[in-house]
A = this chain, B = another copy of it.
Amino acid sequence: MKMAILGTGDVGKTLGSALIQQGHAVMMGSRTADNESAVGWAAERGERASQGTFADAAASAEVILNCSAGMHSLSILAGIDPADLSGKVLIDVANPLDFSNGFPPRLSICNDDSLGEQIQRAHPDARVVKAFNTMANPIMTAPNKLAGEHQLLVCGNDSDAKAVVKEIALSFGWQENQWFDLGGIEQARGTEMYLALWVRLYGKLQTPMFNIAVTRE
């Protein structure tokens, strides 16, 4: 499939590279065409990788992955022609982390709203799926790096869109029983607010190589 990655950070590069490896064509979008980081990434990844503006990337793709910093995601998406988002699967990997007062970050949106919901409300014709935002990027595309059970928490209003995301997750090595669908996009409040714990676990463990498992009876 044709995929767009919005953002040129580690999350975008890791997901983009894994999607290329799975045979997809991936355009990495940034504020300006010829962003150095995106050009370098595309050059290393071969002919199925390309780069352009956020708008170029979204226009080219069937599936769009928001891998931008959460504080900027809404403005980035607002700069894209709505027609280029309409009907498309929009995987929201971002978290509204505000590092302006250092580590640990606070959330710029929480409690009564979430970034995932705000994106869905701003782009009602996009099929937003919140996914992969509860773990560090090396785990998103290589879940078997962790030794025990753990899960991929997802939510979104469109079940067909979630099925597309699930197929991508399975291609990365996630197992059927690791897929944890919380329900509609309003559940993003839960997965984003968990970040307040995630950053503290990270601070304590001194490694981002962890994820949570929901353990039952």
* A interface residues (Cβ-Cβ under 8 A, vs B): 104, 106-107, 110-112, 145-150, 153, 180, 182-183, 187, 189-191, 193-194, 196-201, 203-205, 207, 209-217
Contact = CB atoms under 8 A, between A and B. Distances in A.
Provide the main secondary structure of the chain A interface: mixed
Contact of A194 (B146, B193, B213): B193
A210 B190 CA distance: 16
A147 B203 CA distance: 28
Given A107-B111, A191-B197, A204 B216 contact: no
Given A148-B215, A209-B217, A213-B149, A182 B196 contact: no
B201 A214 contact: yes
Interface centre among A149, A153, A201, A205, by most chain B C-beta atoms within 10 angstroms, is A201
A148 B104 CA distance: 30
A199 B209 contact: no
Nearest to A198: B190
Contact of A146 (B111, B212, B215): B215
Interface centre among A106, A148, A180, A194, by most chain B C-beta atoms within 10 angstroms, is A194
